[in-house]
Amino acid sequence: MMKIDVLTLFPNMFSGVLNESILKKAQEKQAVTFNIVNFRQFADNKHQTVDDYPYGGGAGMVLKPQPIFDAVAHLTKECEHQPRIILLCPQGERYTQKKAEELAKENHLIFICGHYEGYDERIREHLVTDEISIGDYVLTGGELAAMVVIDSVVRLLPGVLGNEASPVLDSFSSGLLEHPHYTRPADFRGLKVPDVLLSGNHRLIEEWRQKESLRRTFLRRPDLLENYELTDQQKKWLEEFKKNER
């Protein structure tokens, strides 16, 4: 079972997200446990202050190292496995499906959600193992980013999705975007499902899906193809797409 601790100043933000849909089912299946901790309780002053003015001046407040260091020490004092300690911040590495798959192999994750202007640099340099950014934009805090990472990781845990093939076939897991999907009715207001999907020929259906996956990637995210090793058949399809583009 994976253990996930979240250090935050706003624990109520997580109650709805963690207790609905797949994340709720993951807990019911005992694939994961969540522990949401308000790190203000670890502040060593009577007012439970967790931030202070930055040395050298400047706008905003900075999170102090003491509450976060002590909170992490409390969460790890009896750990059997060294946890990954994840800082959510705009300066972190861009989050990807590959990173989600990497984190899904861990036994224990600790997320640190900041607020205000930033963190004392000693938290970044001497406490965390990973810094993650979910995109090139700035949020008011790390909570929403932590939720995104948690959702993407937990759905990969064994047994969580039910169909073990589901996460393997997701966009980005194979290196390409996922192929289009259709369901009933076969004809919706004159908009028809491709004939091949109704043929019952599984070989042709799989070939169509592979081709459409490559087509969608070429049209929407050609950057993903730069380091992707194409098969001979995929190379032929790609040339076909390029000709059609001309």
Which tens digits make up the pLDDT trace of 194-220?
999 999 999 999 999 999 999 999 999
Contact predicate 11/37, CB 8 Å: yes
The region that residue 48 occupies, defined by phi over 0 for left and psi between -120 and 50 for alpha, beta otherwise, is left
Residue 218 lies in a domain: yes
Residue 70 in this model has a pLDDT that exceeds 90: yes
Residues 127-147 pLDDT 10s:
999 999 999 999 999 999 999
Q: Which domain holds residue 226?
A: 187-245
Give dist(CA 177, CA 209) in Å, integer: 11
Residue 167 lies in a domain: no
Residues 19-41 pLDDT 10s:
999 999 999 999 999 999 999 99
pLDDT-based confidence at residue 78 (cuts at 50, 70, 90): confident
- Distances in whole angstroms, Cα of residue 196 to Cα of each of 180, 193, 204, 234, 235: 13, 8, 7, 19, 22
- Structure confidence at residue 170 (pLDDT): 63
Clarify whether residues 131 and 25 are in a common domain.
yes
- Structure confidence at residue 117 (pLDDT): 79
- Cis peptide, bond prior to residue 83, ω within 30 of zero: no
- Per-residue pLDDT, averaged over 154-180, amounts to 81
Clarify whether residues 140 and 194 are in a common domain.
no
Residue 86 annotated as binding? no
Residue 138 annotated as binding? yes
Give dist(CA 80, CA 188) in Å, integer: 55
Give dist(CA 26, CA 158) in Å, integer: 10
User: In this structure, what CATH number is given to the domain that contains residue 128?
Assistant: 3.40.1280.10
Q: What is the CA 162 to chain-centroid distance, rounded?
A: 19
- Structure confidence at residue 4 (pLDDT): 98
Candidates 210, 201, 203, 202; CA nearest to 232 is 210
Candidates 4, 68, 74; CA nearest to 36 is 4
- Structure confidence at residue 222 (pLDDT): 96
Clarify whether residues 54 and 138 are in a common domain.
yes
Residue 165 lies in a domain: no
234: tokens are: 């995929």
Clarify whether residues 141 and 222 are in a common domain.
no
Task: Please tell me the total count of domains within the chain.
Answer: 2
Residue 114 annotated as binding? yes
pLDDT-based confidence at residue 162 (cuts at 50, 70, 90): confident
Residue 164 lies in a domain: no
Q: Give the global pTM.
A: 0.89
Residue 57 in this model has a pLDDT that exceeds 70: yes
The whole-chain average pLDDT of the chain stands at 94
Clarify whether residues 78 and 193 are in a common domain.
no
- Distances in whole angstroms, Cα of residue 54 to Cα of each of 25, 232, 243: 43, 57, 57
pLDDT-based confidence at residue 89 (cuts at 50, 70, 90): very high
Query: Active-site positions?
Result: 90, 117, 155, 170
Residue 244 in this model has a pLDDT that exceeds 60: yes
User: In this structure, what CATH number is given to the domain that contains residue 234?
Assistant: 1.10.1270.20
Which residue has tokens 């965390």?
128
Candidates 155, 112, 113; CA nearest to 24 is 155
- Structure confidence at residue 166 (pLDDT): 60
Clarify whether residues 132 and 227 are in a common domain.
no
Angle value at C-alpha 154, between 99 and 119, nearest 5 degrees: 60
- Structure confidence at residue 168 (pLDDT): 58
- Structure confidence at residue 167 (pLDDT): 61
- Per-residue pLDDT, averaged over 67-78, amounts to 96
- Helix segments in the chain, DSSP class H: 15-18, 21-28, 65-76, 97-103, 121-126, 143-154, 202-220, 232-245
Residue 134 annotated as binding? yes
Residue 161 lies in a domain: no
Residue 169 in this model has a pLDDT that exceeds 90: no
Q: What's the residue count for the chain?
A: 246
- Per-residue pLDDT, averaged over 55-76, amounts to 95
Residue 51 annotated as binding? no
- Structure confidence at residue 81 (pLDDT): 83
Clarify whether residues 70 and 150 are in a common domain.
yes
